[in-house]
Amino acid sequence: MDTYNFLRSIPHPFGAANWVTFARALIAVFFLGESISLLWAGPAAGAGLRWTAVACGAAGLCLDGVDGYLARRLGRASAFGARFDMETDAFTILALAMLVWALDQAGGWVLVSGLLRYIFVLGGWLWPIFAVPLPPRKRRQTFCVVQLVALILALAPPVTPLWGNVICLAGLILLSYSFGVDLAWLAGQSRTKSEAVW
């Protein structure tokens, strides 16, 4: 869906489910703002921040289940709502990864988990085959939640940087696998179409 059609698909009124997703986006903005502040002032400035981040992350995870439930319950499910939810998830993972890195709970490589979605989108712009709509899969949602949980756990004060790296790496491996499966499916679709032409 291009930007123009995406904007045209915004429901009027906005709807309860989308407002819940918007609240999740605000939590992600909080994570991003704290990350930038820590990168400016240094990790020591965030000693009292970690439990707050864990609480906000847990609240965001709970809301992630609420917005979809509301959309279905109220009969307001839409392409915009699904896309808004997905992009909020991606932004939250990026913001959390930045916070984990800024607090020295994992190395800079943890940012890869937050950048995977945007690399995927960039690939779709460069190679149209990767912009083909993917069939719905529960796997994507599950591994996204696993990655969010991993990043939130890494922020918990009892977790040392060593274990933060281990937890985040496990989440990244699963998320990378999910993206790899989708890329393989898209490549297979491209090959099938090419063979059909010949």
Taking all residues of the chain, what is their mean pLDDT, rounded to a whole number? 87
pLDDT at 12: 56
pTM over 0.85: yes
pLDDT per residue as tens digits for the range 67-85: 888 888 888 788 888 889 9
pLDDT per residue as tens digits for the range 161-185: 999 999 999 999 999 999 999 999 8
pLDDT per residue as tens digits for the range 109-155: 999 999 999 999 998 888 888 888 888 889 999 999 999 999 999 99
For residues 189 and 198, what is the distance between their CA atoms, to the nearest angstrom?
Answer: 15
The DSSP result for 93-151, as a single string, is HHHHHHHHHHTTSS-GGGHHHHHHHHHHHHHHHHSGGGGSPPPP-HHHHHHHHHHHHHH
At position 15, the amino acid (one-letter code) is: G
CATH number assigned to the domain covering 3-190? 1.20.120
Tokens (6 digits) for 97:
């990864």
| Angle value at C-alpha 113, between 108 and 119, nearest 5 degrees | 105
Residue from 101, 118, 121 nearest 110 by CA: 101
- Which pLDDT band, with edges at 50, 70 and 90, does 5 fall under? low
What percentage of the chain exceeds 90 in pLDDT? Answer: 57
